[in-house]
Structure 1
Amino acid sequence: MTVPFAGRREDQRLLTGTGRFTADWTLPGQLHAAFLRSEHAHAEILGLDASAALAAPGVVAVLTGADTLAAGFHRTQALLPYTGRGGEALKAPPRPALAAGRVRYVGEPVALVVAETAAQARDAAERIAVDYRPLPAAATPEAALAPGAPQIHAEVPGNLCFDYEYGDAAAADAAFARAAHVVRLELESARVVGNPMEPKAALAAWDGETLDLWTGTQGMVALRDSLASLTGLPPERIRVRAQDVGGGFGIRGPAYPEHAALALAAKRLGRPVKWVASRSETFLSDYHGRALRMTAELALDAEGRFLAIRHAWLCDQGAYPVATGPLINTLNPAMMCTGCYRIPVVYGRHRLAVTNTVPVTAYRGAGRPDMAYVIERLVDEAARQTGRDRLALRRLNLIPRDAFPYRVPSGAAEYDSGDYAALLDAAAEAADWAGFEARRAEAAARGRLRGIGCALFVEPSGGVVPRDEIALAFTPEGGIVIHSVIGPSGQGHETVMPEIVARALGVPPESVTLRTGDPEGPPLFGGGAFASRSMLSHGAAGLVAAREAVRKGRALAAEALETAEADIEFAAGEYRIAGTDRRIGLLELARRHAGPGPNPLDTTAALPATRAFPSGAHVAEVEVDPDTGEVALLRYVAVDDCGVVLNPTLLAGQILGGMVQGLGQAFGELCAYDPESGQLLTGSFLDYAMPRADLLREVVLRERCVPSPNNPLGVKGAGEAGTTGALPAAMNAVLDALRPAGVRHLDMPASPARVWAALRERVADGRERPGA
């Protein structure tokens, strides 16, 4: 269901270079900072000599771990509101703003140099001498949990920081015991780097006892509270400011230790301190994503019906459990652990380990693409092993439309609505699935391997915080300002939020503007732009606020029109006396009551945070050159159910953006560490393959939407759907192309080198030349 909608307000500013990102903010008298970072994955700090740096031109100060310890900026964040196996809580060690006594990953900040210019700060940082005593490192979760592994934190015995389970282990064992077929897979969702276009940056300044922090953020309240946890500062004494943000993807949600160190430097020196990271620092210090080892089993009866599913995940948390890292590796997967299928029994156990690597947090999809990847790879493998048609096996086991609301057997979620069969049928038709074998034969005649892959998925959106607040302020000039705490980073909030409010108020959209990240605005609570929740939570709250403003205006209109409130009707932005032509417009009414104080129509509305469950069916078609291993993505079809569509253009942008990030992981992105030393091997774009514009050749986007009953807009969210569908669809297509050549398994990314190696291995086994 689509509501007509057009235009993007922010495009003019962003495309003409007049946007204002963190590096564009400048304050009088500001200093500049640079960080010295650890060159070791694990080592004791025996000594640090900053005398040469302090003597360097322009240097004002050098801060070390001793300074941040003395300030109390060395705290443990409360990360999970639930316990794991045996009632055990997450083990989260203190997180220093600057390393104190020990470093635990390459890139960990060790010292902060403050100087009059950025170049002077960088030059001086190189003059600091640190005496390290290297320690053995554990760069993978397997190594960290192995007997005799290096102990990374005294607070985390055996390096296992959380052990989480869901479902019914005994019931799963019984179902697998009576199964006619059991399918098992071991898969990896490799570590990836978020790489926003805008590198991490911050400007810290103090206004008395209040900290002002300019930085890229996905939500001012979320980052403020995270920084309060790191520093011990009261949240009300932190003001987070941002206008434009050059990419979020989950990694711009939490505070970083650099934020705390800069805040301390600005406080001590009495001057603003600014820092802009290099791209190398992005690789070394931005929180990473994924980093999962996943084992899964699917039990089927003789007719192909799914009986039970089991999950065993090993989740790398990096050197410190931070922000949402533990959450997205436990709760999110548990909410979608059976996918779109009616599977009566589930059991999952997810073990979270600390390692000597960069910490891991939410990255676009936040655990959902990984669970969808596991389930859809399992279903394809089940079809192969039982000799069944891949689509027919899915149709046999789908949750029917009349089963909603549907309670997941893990007990972690209740799907609100959906029509998975319609999604699958629409995707198969748009992809011409029925005609694929002819295309495969034509490719084989040219010596190419062609494959097609399908993926169904359902994912949770929304939630995260208890409530979301929106404030509407009527200006003396006759306009309306929406105040929100969301942090836009390309989603189009400046366009869609005013349209939602304007439509409900019956006023011209151009009379409404959105203001986010404004500490001088009304004090508001709410989550940020993550979990595909912006419209589900903040958009819906805006609608509620607009309706409340209309209600409040009835009494004022009755007074202006000299009639009883019961006689007042509202439509198309006007109040009128029923049955007459006497009327007054909402904006005119607001102007009449404009004054030095708040307008009586000003409204703040709170909406309890709810969840919805977007779903989709994606199909990818690929062709492989067996001589080079190169994979060409020929066509991609995405049919999505994201509830009511507010803006088709913005929806297409979100689906495509998420799709490219998923395909980047499927075909090239890989963040690799040396397993022995813990050194980052992919620390630049020379080694880390980002997706390019020619990755997608033909894209078909369709919608088969069922409105969500869980919010007044009926929306479900779309920000991560493209990623969630892309991983399994792409890899199922690649495996479908490679199976005729004897390749049964391949982990992401399906890079030319990996594909070529897998094909050569089959040739070495005595099989025919692939594609011959």
Structure 2
Amino acid sequence: MSSDHEVFTGRREDMRLVTGQGVYTADNILEGQFHAAFLRADLPHARIVSIDANAALEAPGVRLVLTGKDALEANLIAPGPLVTFPGVDGMKIRAPARYALSTDRVRFVGEPVAIVVADSADAAADAIELISIEYEELPAVVGPEAALDDGAPQIFDDVPGNLVFLHGFGDEAATDAAFASATHISTLTVESQRVAANPMELKSFIAAYDPETDGFDVYSASQGTGLADGLARFTGHPPEKVRHHMGDVGGSFGIRGAAYPEYAAIMLAAKKLCRPVRWTASRTESFLADYHGRAVKFTGELALGEDGKFLAIRMNVVCDLGAYHSPPGALINILNPMLTGTGCYRIPTVFGLNRLAFTNTSPIAAYRGAGRPDINYMVERLVDQAAVDIGMDRVEIRRRNLIPDDAYPYQTPTTVYDSGSYMAMIEEAVSISDWKGFEARREQSERQGNLRGIGMGIFIEPSGGGHMPEETEIRFEPDGTVTLYTLSGSAGQGHETVFPQLVAKELGIDENLITLRANSVHAPHKLKGAGTMGSRSMASHGASLTVTSREVVRKGFKLAADALEASENDIEFDHGHYKVAGTNLSISLMELAARNAAQDGNALDTLASIQPERNFPGGVHVAEVEIDPGTGETRVISYIGVDDAGHVINHTLLEGQMHGGLAQGAGQVFGEQIVYDGESGQLLTATFMDYFMPRADFMPTPRFFDMPAPSPTNVLGAKGGGEAGTTGALPTLMNAVMDALRRSGVKEFDMPATPYRVWAALNSAGANV
């Protein structure tokens, strides 16, 4: 993404973070703290017959042992799913209670069963080994389709057939009629495999209880607001009694917003002991019990007319929720396929049927893109398949069916897209990538014994929105500085830099005078709003700060008129100064703030809000890959993206988000996969010895180009950008891989494109490998 006007001197966070001065959860040391360790289930499904913790309680340094009995007595029940609407035939989502510690059964390997609190982490870990637990092993099931089969092991007695929810969207009758009239029907089944978020900072939590106030101070990485409220619901405490301290965050990717069961158990321990209790997971614990992402399978069908125009699309979706609900798990697998099931195309009708199942695996939650990459992957793979089926150029079939640039706002069968310019973006992407010159590059690779493919992915995704106002506050401090309060939670996005830049421009003051205090327990008011999720920071927090800044300026007119002894109607505001029109009388905003300071604040202090609205960013990405057929090794030769993130405030920070998103998408395409053994239910990828992670040399430097279609839904015209790289990467890279493999007769292939799987596919197709 390039800008001829932007001069970027770096993020103000960088010096602190790259010199080791960041303060993460585990860096907090509280006076008198104890340490916790968890006993975790080593079976995927079993009834708990008995637990004997006496030996652990007598171990050196041990202060407390809690089991499911204690969680049951304290009523520590996890917050339920966010789905509140009915499914097919009025079905209500099935949501059995999950306690902070297992009470009667364990349902996945890694589920917390007991907690030991001791004077040191080592003492707690040693004592865990002394807990004796007797299980009655039960049959387990690890795949959603197997879980939904007749006769499958029942994970919950009150969830018959392991079917959690059945949801349909669109117009089934109209879709069936369109398919009946179609000249061509293309069908494709793809899977977005289960993956681990694997943030660099391991899951960590500290709780301190104050018996005088019956309040908690908790310390944990988060995505902003939501964690304190979730913990309040989990523990039964009033929200105002849970104060969440959030420092620096070493990676988030969707899994940081949750009130994990371990956190509630630690809070109970801290309350019983009236001493702070801290815990940091091991990497294997995080693999086992952090919420996973994706785990959804699509069978898609696309109906086409004689001219290659799309008539209808329908899909059958099977989602693996794991053994329990996470709050967003079910919602993301329903909402985003429903909102963008027709992609960027003029498709008159759609129907989807979504089956959500429990399995004996770790729960599924949001992971970068939260359902957006999955549905775009299905749509774009299906469009490529349709082009192959009818013998049409892959770019031409898209041109023929894209929503015209002058058709926005565009009513799809299920929602309204606010703005877009996909016709222009596809032409730009074709030009920059030299799509027309690809065949010559393919021939050159083939002369060297390699396969070469080119792929395109066009994507659109819902961003932002929300059901509550987004409040922000601007305070003028006695020392002449300005403080911003938001509910945002940065995990590398550069909020400390870009939000002060945004406000400085509105107020006409030096950005170095402005400091962001995000999600601060010291905020003057308890703000309403949501955290950093769903690519919403700039369109929600940024737009709210803009509105708040403009309210500051508006307030200043009367104060300036009084200070300058002029009529308010004669006052003008320009670059941080109030002026009397036609004179040389003026006063700066900061001078005005200094004159209006009071013991309890400043007359310019302002709390304001917006009602966030959803917007739809998107883009057109093109990738080229080269495959060594002898080894199956795939190299990404080039990657370009033409993206619409609406009006861009800081190109460099946005491009950083795109790079990170692309790396995570490429990681899933080429190797990342959580694997459970189908018979034992054991996790086979619980360390980096077995779980693939992309590294710095994995991809060539991508090139991103900005082609904004500003959104009318917020004052900045901004759209989301944090998940676009991932959403575009999945279909783009896999379409390129498939283009290469088809040259050797491979007709079906899906992620992950590991060297062995690519080699095996070529070998099965009879290619000379």
What is the TM-score when the length of structure 2 is the normalising length?
0.98
Residues 691 and 631 (structure 1), Cα distance of their counterparts in 2 relative to 1, 3 Å cut: same
Correspondence for 2:231 among 227, 236, 246: 227
Question: Could you tell me whether the CA contact under 8 Å between 2:253 and 2:367 is conserved in 1?
Answer: yes
Kindly indicate whether the alpha-carbon contact (under 8 Å) linking 1:430 and 1:700 is maintained by their aligned counterparts in 2.
no
CA contact (8 A) 1:33 1:112 kept: yes
Among 675, 691, 694, the residue aligned to 1:688: 691
Query: Does 1:345 find its partner at 2:344?
Result: no
Q: Is the 8 A contact 1:5 1:646 kept in 2?
A: no
Give the secondary structure class of the aligned counterpart of 1:685.
coil
Distance (Å, rounded) in 2 between the aligned partners of 1:430 and 1:696? 18
Confirm or deny: 8 A CA contact 1:75 1:95 kept in the other structure: yes
Q: How many Å apart are 1:52 and its aligned residue?
A: 1.4
Instruction: Specify which of 396, 400, 418 is matched with residue 392 of structure 1.
Output: 396
The amino acid that maps onto 1:486 is: S
Q: CA RMSD in A?
A: 1.1
1:113 aligned residue (104, 116, 120): 116
Q: Deviations over 1:322-345 (max 9, x none)?
A: 121111100111111100100001
Q: CA deviation at 1:698?
A: 3.8
SS of alignment partner, residue 107 of structure 1: coil
Give 3-state SS (helix, strand or coil) of 1:74's partner: coil
State the secondary structure of the residue aligned to 1:95.
coil
Do residues 516 (structure 1) and 518 (structure 2) align? Answer: yes
Whole-Å separation in 2 of the counterparts to 1:389 and 1:199:
46
Read off the aligned partner of 2:285 and give its amino acid letter: E
> Amino acid of the residue matched to residue 354 of structure 1?
F
The yes-or-no answer on 1:40 pairing with 2:58 is no
Provide the residue aligned with 1:494 in structure 2: 496
Deviation at 1:72, TM superposition (A): 1.1
Deviations 1:731-766 (A, max 9, x none): 000000000111011110100010011111112xxx
Any idea what SS the aligned residue of 2:190 has?
strand
Give the drift of 1:81. Answer: 3.0
Aligned counterpart for 2:297 among listed residues 293, 309, 321: 293
- What is the TM-score when the length of structure 1 is the normalising length? 0.98
Query: How far apart in 2 are the matches of 1:759 and 1:308?
Result: 33
* Partner-residue secondary structure (3-state), 2:765: helix
The offset of 1:76, in angstroms, is: 4.9
State the match for 1:615 in structure 2.
618
Q: Per-residue deviation at 1:143?
A: 1.5
Aligned to 1:485: 487
For residues 456 and 365 of structure 1, the distance between their equivalents in structure 2, rounded to whole angstroms, comes to 15
- Counterpart residue identity of residue 759, structure 1: L
> In the alignment, what sits opposite 2:768?
769
Question: 1:226 touches 1:323 (CA, 8 Å); kept in 2?
Answer: no
Q: Deviations over 1:285-322 (max 9, x none)?
A: 10000001110000000100000000111000001111
The residue identity in structure 2 corresponding to 1:651 is L
Q: Is 1:714 the equivalent of 2:709? A: no
> What is the CA–CA distance in structure 2 between the aligned matches of 1:599 and 1:93, rounded to whole Å?
50
How many Å separate the matches in 2 of 1:564 and 1:689? 68
2-side partners of 1:197 and 1:61: how far apart? 30
Aligned twin of 1:372? 376
Aligned partner of residue 661 in structure 1, secondary structure: helix
Structure 1 residue aligned with 2:366, among 362, 366, 369? 362
Gaps of 5+ in 1: none
How do residues 158-557 of structure 1 correspond to structure 2 at under 5 angstroms? 158-207=161-210, 208-220=213-225, 222-409=226-413, 411=414, 413-521=415-523, 522-557=525-560
Deviations 1:529-566 (A, max 9, x none): 11000001000000000000111111111111112211
Question: Amino acid of the residue matched to residue 665 of structure 2?
Answer: G
Task: After superposition, give the CA deviation of every residue in 1:92-123 in whole Å (9 maximum; x if it has no partner).
Answer: 11111001011010000000000011111111
Counterparts of 2:752 and 2:418 in 1: how far apart (Å)?
Answer: 33
Give the SS at the match of 2:431.
helix
Q: Is the 8 A contact 1:468 1:541 kept in 2?
A: yes
Shift in Å at residue 74 of structure 1?
2.3
State the alpha-carbon separation in 1 of the partners of residues 427 and 158 from structure 2. 52
Aligned equivalents of 1:466, 1:62: Cα separation in 2: 40
Cα distance in 2 for residues equivalent to 1:276 and 1:481? 32
Identical aligned residues as a percent: 54
The 8 Å contact of residues 243 and 517 in structure 1, kept in 2 or not, is answered as no
Q: Secondary structure at the match of 1:478?
A: coil
Which residue in 1 is equivalent to 2:6? 4
Displacement of 1:228 in angstroms is 2.2
- Residues 95 and 230 of structure 1 are in contact (CA less than 8 Å); yes or no, is this contact kept in structure 2? no
Asked whether the 8 Å contact 1:377–1:732 carries over to 2, the reply is yes
Q: Which deviations, in whole Å up to 9, do the C-alpha atoms of 1:442-466 show, x marking residues without a partner?
A: 1111110100000101101001342
Letter in 2 for 1:142: E
Structure 2: where are the runs of 5+ without partners? none
The CA deviation at 1:78 is 4.8
- CA deviation map 1:608-667 (0-9, x unaligned): 011110010011100001110000111101110001111111011000000000000000
Q: Distance in 1 between matches of 2:475 and 2:680?
A: 56
2:752 match: 749
Equivalent runs, 1:73-152 vs 2, <5 Å: 73-152=76-155
- Size of the aligned set, in residue pairs, is 763
Alpha-carbon distance in structure 1 between the residues aligned to 2:125 and 2:473 = 43
SS at match of 1:569: strand
For the 8 Å contact 1:198–1:246, the answer to whether it is kept is yes
Secondary structure (helix, strand or coil) at the match of 2:730 reads: helix
